[in-house]
Structure 1
Amino acid sequence: MKRFLAVCAIAFSATLFGFAGCSSSSTDSKPGTAGVTADRPSVAYVTNGVASFWVIAESGVRQAGEEFGADVDVLMPAEGIGDQKRMIEDLITKGTDGIAISPIDPDNQTELINEAAKYSHVITHDSDAPASNRECYIGMDNYLAGRMCGQLIAEALPDGGKVAIFVGRLEQDNARRRRQGVIDEILGRSEDSSRFDPPDAEIKEGKWHLVGTFTDQFDRAQGKANAEDAMSRHSDLVCMVGLFAYNPPLMLEALGQAGKLGKIKVIAFDEADETLKGIVDGHVHGTIVQNPFEYGRQSVRVLAGLTQGKSLAELEIPENGFLNIPARQIRRDNVDEYWAELKKNLGEE
């Protein structure tokens, strides 16, 4: 709290002494933004980790900075929730106008997000914190995307069988919803994003046997070890499902070393090069892709607009506060087209 008070004190003192940095031309009513005019807002994009997915998002952020006249910064916490917390606190202290956050643990970060929202415009992206005071969420419906992933599983395995799910952490809203969508879809359940099957329980229903959900807390070595462990414990495993961008490449590496590429079906999330090449080579049946480039671009567009005094309605944010950027299913028949689009967004073509 001292940091927040310090920000206000600095802004107040600057006003008293007529510092040029505290221009009254800014239309932003948020505290803590006195050092930046609305003509050139400062926007920070905070991810939930370090991954190729976020490199794509960064390209969208950088493009949007030029497109919408904002000074942008991209922060990727490499050491988990403590690192992300420090980054957010530092941004508030600096008087950043707008902050886009992908919360690592929304249930335990609500207070931090609410505190940040007192001093800056705050939105969430990729993973939501719906109980917080964030102004909107930019991303996809992770539950429905999970169901799309479940469709790929059913498509690849018409006879069912043993399935293992791999993900970084289930504290994240997107991970929980994604996983539940997968389970509900393959079991033929009705849509209910509030449903939650315990991750440590095996689920046997009809032709399907979900052997477990393996988490790694963004530890790549553990992620690969989880894939090896699943194969070791279940010699008749027929499918591996990776819900975070780095999971499928680790699964493919483990399968290759075990001589089981093509023998165990791989269903993926996101667009890591290894995953897309796996689709081309026939080792990955398909993947669900988001649009991280547009997540980054839209986050800057919205935050810059809010700082300049525009309303959410003027920025074309629906009344429910959810700007939906739909997911897509990528298979062998459309992977080349998608990969070319991705490279274009990254400036590689």
Structure 2
Amino acid sequence: MPAHAAPKFLPLCGALLIAVGVSLTGCKIEKIDTNATDSQATDGDSTAVKTSGEGKIRVAYVTNGIASFWDIAEEGCKAAAKDHDVECLVRMPPDGTADQKRMLEELISDQVAGVAVSPIDPDNQTSILNEVAKATNLITHDSDAPKSNRLAYIGMNNYDAGRMCGKLVKEAMPEGGEVMIFVGRLGQLNADQRRQGIIDELLNRSDDPERPFDPADGVLKGDKYTILDTRTDNFDFAIAKSRAEDAIVKHPNIGCMIGLFAYNPPNILEAIRGADKVGQIKVVAFDEDADTLKAIQDGSCYGTIVQNPYQYGYKSVELLAKLARGDESAIPEGGFLDIPARAIRKDNVDEFWAELKELTGTDESDASAK
């Protein structure tokens, strides 16, 4: 994929901005899979439009876990469900691949008119993804599964975003030094690509999204920067914090800690505060968790690479609604709808957060509670 510039966050039309500010009723939100008794679609041709008992087209949006990032995507799903007159089921697997597989199987059984999913382990999920694609319209968002039969991927170029993150590290620690990467899991394509982009940038390698991923274990040393390790936590927030605490103890000269998923930076920051090393250890982040944005405001986090989860949700539901109504021209050229990343630093964090609050209809206290 070509490199992309990072434009101003969320260039949305006025109608969409208005839609966010009102109470939205077209989307059934289920953060953890339940045995809710949704009306079943009528039997018959699997290519027919599947509707709820109220006659609305039903689509589904499946995340890769539970995090504040997905709360923002949820708002986009709500707005698109209202704007395009569909019903949307949002499913957030609490415990990894097995839960996500079960949810996808249930959605096949429920005969929804389309599924948007962020695959947790795309290489090992090809079979279930292709089962979904055979039964209904399948697209991916946030993280892709290019080997599957999905119709399109909605998201950013994660390798490019990783290189953007690496540039923030260079700004925060221009003299060089030791860094460590923290992430929920590897094997998930977006995590692997972000990590590789960071590594390639810090080691001053050429721009090559197809470069094989460096192994997670072992030290990677460049002229100025040394990547000590990549530590995973499997979406366990307590483990995420303890991994950061252990790193601070084990590596007293660590200069920068990088969090690749939305909840990683807040847990890193807690560990740094607990060790009384705020300012001594730089923090570079991904995503727009409220605690991360506050830390950028007060200077304890240098910056973050934000995606656009609101648009991930909105554009996914919009595309599925159009496909369900037979509009195949809605599939983006090349099967990729690029929603570029943006670098947030202290000089633009206030503007960014104001935009985010306007879109989601939240204030600071709401965001902090998520």
Tell me the TM-score normalized by structure 2: 0.84
Q: Give the residue type in structure 2 aligned to 1:11.
A: D
What is the DSSP-based 3-state SS (H/G/I as helix, E as strand, rest coil) of the residue aligned with 2:125? helix
Number of aligned residue pairs: give it.
Answer: 321
Partners of 1:113 and 1:53 lie apart in 2 by 23
Q: Which residue does 2:28 correspond to in 1? A: none
2:350 paired with 1:336: yes
1:143 aligned to 149, 153, 159, which one? 159
* Aligned pairs (5 A) from 1:162-241: 162-195=178-211, 196-241=213-258
Q: Contact conserved, 2:202 with 2:222, CA < 8 A, in 1?
A: no
Q: Give the residue type in structure 1 aligned to 2:144.
A: D
Q: Quick one: structure 1 residues 200 and 348, their matched pair in 2 at CA, closer, same or farther if it must change by over 3 Å?
A: same
Partners of 2:52 and 2:230 lie apart in 1 by 46
2:43 aligned to 11, 25, 35, which one? 11
Give a deviation string over 1:115-137, Cα, whole Å, max 9, x none: 11111101000000000000000
Give a deviation string over 1:246-271, Cα, whole Å, max 9, x none: 00000000000110111100000000
Partners of 2:145 and 2:61 lie apart in 1 by 15
Q: Which residue does 2:13 correspond to in 1? A: none
- In structure 1, list runs of 5 or more residues that go unmatched: 1-9, 13-28
Partners of 1:235 and 1:126 lie apart in 2 by 35
What is the DSSP-based 3-state SS (H/G/I as helix, E as strand, rest coil) of the residue aligned with 1:288? strand
Q: How far is the alpha carbon of 1:346 from its aligned partner?
A: 1.0
* Aligned pairs (5 A) from 1:62-101: 62-101=78-117
Q: Contact conserved, 2:59 with 2:87, CA < 8 A, in 1?
A: yes
Q: Which residue does 2:361 correspond to in 1? A: 347
Q: Contact conserved, 1:32 with 1:95, CA < 8 A, in 2?
A: no
What is the DSSP-based 3-state SS (H/G/I as helix, E as strand, rest coil) of the residue aligned with 2:56? coil
Q: Which residue does 1:250 correspond to in 2? A: 267
Q: Which residue does 2:129 correspond to in 1? A: 113
Give a deviation string over 1:258-309, Cα, whole Å, max 9, x none: 1011110000000000000000000011000000000000000100000100
Q: Which one has the largest radius of gyration?
A: 1
- In structure 2, list runs of 5 or more residues that go unmatched: 1-41, 364-370
Q: How far is the alpha carbon of 1:36 from its aligned partner?
A: 5.5
Q: Which residue does 2:332 correspond to in 1? A: 317
Tell me the TM-score normalized by structure 1: 0.89
Q: How far is the alpha carbon of 1:34 from its aligned partner?
A: 4.8
What is the DSSP-based 3-state SS (H/G/I as helix, E as strand, rest coil) of the residue aligned with 1:150? helix
Q: Give the residue type in structure 2 aligned to 1:201.
A: G
Q: Quick one: structure 1 residues 47 and 218, their matched pair in 2 at CA, closer, same or farther if it must change by over 3 Å?
A: same
Q: Give the residue type in structure 2 aligned to 1:234.
A: H
1:132 aligned to 125, 138, 148, which one? 148
